[in-house]
A and B are shown apart, each in its own frame.
Chain A
Amino acid sequence: MKKSFISRRAFKTLALNLVVWVFALAWMLPFIGLVAVSIQPYREVVVKGWVRVPDLSSLTLNNYIEALRNPLYDLATGYRNSVIVAFLSSLIPVVAAALTAYAFANLDFRLKALLFATILFIMMVPQQLTVVPLFLLYRNLGLYDTFQGIILLHSAWGIAWVTFFLRNYFRFIPRSLVEAARVDGASEITIFYKIILPLSIPALIASFIMQFTWVWNDLFYALVFLASRDKQVITQKVVMLKGEFHIDWGLLTAGSIISMSTPLILYVVFNKYFMRGVAAWGVKR
């Protein structure tokens, strides 16, 4: 008998590759379905389903246009609002946290351990624990249903986790750089500004992007603190696309894709930063 054409080992590798790739493709099916349904009129999908090669002539962007423009849905405003809120809610914490992280990494002061534990604690506590009093406070201060209100709130939380993140990064900058600058007569602020910050640019970008994504994706705070149509963010609005009794999936899928477009683009462009951030959880330092 002739020897087997494919060795056992190669066969095993092939089989495993096949299994994993089929799994990956199956995993992507919901996304594929999402796109497929969003570019066809829903009545067609109801009749013919989407697990088929689409009829090219009936492809349309109507669902997207409806979702964005129709005043009932108004995703365009939601998109704009999300951009404003997410951007400012990222800029403020990154700047503030850089200062805090510098203090934790390079200065010595009494309450250091306690304050750091506070930060860790805040990072883990559920969002639900803070909203009731803030809601009442905001109403009294006129901050309810304003961008300022929610931006301040997001910034406060952001400062906590970005401090933690940046401080771990700062620790990798050799202490001798800071000490050499001290001996040369530089003030702490100068050291922070001229030496530490320039060397931390990757970390600053990473935390900005992650915070931006986090705020963009938030639903809970938005539900509590933003009420009027021209203030609501896109996550709120897209959820409202789902009707009580009847769901227009064409609309809903298009809306979903619009609302996840920004995080998706950020993810594609800044992919490294995302993966490194999460991967860091798995590697001990």
Chain B
Amino acid sequence: MTSAFLKLDRVTKRFRNVIAVDKASLDVGKGELLVLLGPSGCGKTTTLRIIAGLETPDEGRVYIDGVDVTDMEPGDRDVSMVFQDYALYPHMSVFDNIAFPLTVRRGKLRLSRRDIEERVLKVAKMLRIEELLDRKPPQLSGGQQQRVALARALVREPKVWLMDEPLSNLDALVRMQVRAELKRLQKDLGITMVYVTHDQIEALTLADRIAVMNKGRVLQVGSPKDVYENPEHVFVATFIGAPPMNILECKATEEILECPGFSRPLQPSTRGLQGKLYVGIRPEHIEIVSISEVTKEDVVEAKVYVVEPLGSEYIVNAVLEGEIVKVRTSRELLLSPGDTVYLKIDWSRASVFDFESGGSLGKLLKR
């Protein structure tokens, strides 16, 4: 809390009647890479723009390095932003594009022409675009344009680096390369970064911490491991992980947990659950076992719906009383639709969520 370099305190933003950002609070430590993750329209880009100063929040405050910047102009906040379309000025050379943040504030920053040149070259070297300095943006490839945009953001040595889905316009292969470089760059330079994306894989690979957003609210903030293993909301559970976590609508009574297609006695350590709830199990925590391994308690019978081959793995879609459950297995079983399979569920990894709010109720089994 106290070491927060960038802090959002219950920021709210409305557009006409729609609440785009709903009491969002975030703490980002110095040098940390925080990813804002969520589907389209969840408010992540608006939140980023509020940090940048391109939108003013209706409620809440924004602090950067201890200073309340909520009412400050974007240009005074000492932040840099990389836009989804790179926003490079097509009529200026790459050099002028990168130098732009420095040239417009030359007086203020007391920089000479030489100083500017030095800094631009330094940053261009870092991003390996020295040869492109004389060209104009329309002449560059997507990947090159992206580097120029990054260089322009870095040349000011900002306090916070903001990124709005910077990789979404790149080819898949280029995207992976740039992702790795970006993370390296951020670590080397130690710049605080807020990164917006809808791609959960990007989030999991890049982030120090992830803030999952939906419908304007921040649902959970945690490390990739945390968010994956201990989701605090059913939305987070299903958004992170591919294929997503299986969610079953179950009913708990005093002694028994009733789920579609099977039921299970509730152990004393798990009592306290009542009524309808969601039970979540990840596809990799379910095993397909042969008949000979069947014992009563933790094996469930299901019918195969379809099998999706994924190279070295298979996703078996199995039907449990009308609900489809996905199972991840590397065993090469010759299964066809309609076959009967036996699923062994690792109940120690199952999560439970409140039926009304979706909030996490912890793991099913307490150790």
Q: Which residues of A contact B (CB under 8 A)?
A: 174, 176-177, 179-187, 190, 194-195, 198-199
Contacts and interface: CB of A to CB of B under 8 A. Distances in A.
A139 B101 CA distance: 53
A184 B75 contact: yes
A182 B75 contact: yes
Given A195-B89, A198-B91, A199-B90, A180 B104 contact: no
Given A179-B54, A199-B90, A199-B91, A185 B104 contact: yes
Interface stretch (B77-85, B177-185, B211-219, B319-327): B77-85
Given A174-B85, A180-B81, A190-B104, A185 B75 contact: yes
Nearest to A186: B104
Given A183-B52, A183-B53, A185-B105, A177 B74 contact: no
Nearest to A178: B87
Contacts of A174: 85, 87
A182 B89 contact: no
Contacts of A179: 54, 74, 81, 83, 87
Interface of B: 52-54, 73-76, 79-81, 83-85, 87, 89-91, 100-101, 104-105, 108, 152, 156
29 contacts: A174-B87, A176-B83, A177-B87, A177-B89, A179-B54, A179-B74, A179-B83, A179-B87, A180-B83, A181-B100, A182-B54, A182-B75, A183-B52, A183-B80, A184-B75, A184-B100, A184-B101, A184-B156, A185-B74, A185-B76, A185-B105, A185-B108, A186-B75, A186-B104, A187-B75, A187-B104, A194-B104, A195-B89, A199-B91
B267 to A, nearest CB: 55
A190 B54 CA distance: 17
Nearest to A195: B89
A98 to B, nearest CB: 16
A86 to B, nearest CB: 29
Among the interface residues A174, A182, A183, A198, which one has the most CB atoms of the partner chain B within 10 A? A183
A59 B237 CA distance: 92
A180 B81 CA distance: 7
A179 B83 CA distance: 9
A33 B108 CA distance: 68
Contacts of B101: 184-185
Contacts of A180: 81, 83, 87
Contacts of A194: 104
Contact of A183 (B75, B84, B85, B89): B75
B196 to A, nearest CB: 14
A176 B52 CA distance: 13
Contacts of B105: 185
Contacts of B75: 182-187
A60 B79 CA distance: 74
Among the interface residues A179, A180, A187, A190, which one has the most CB atoms of the partner chain B within 10 A? A180
A180 B100 CA distance: 10
A160 B358 CA distance: 57
Given A181-B100, A185-B76, A190-B104, A176 B87 contact: yes
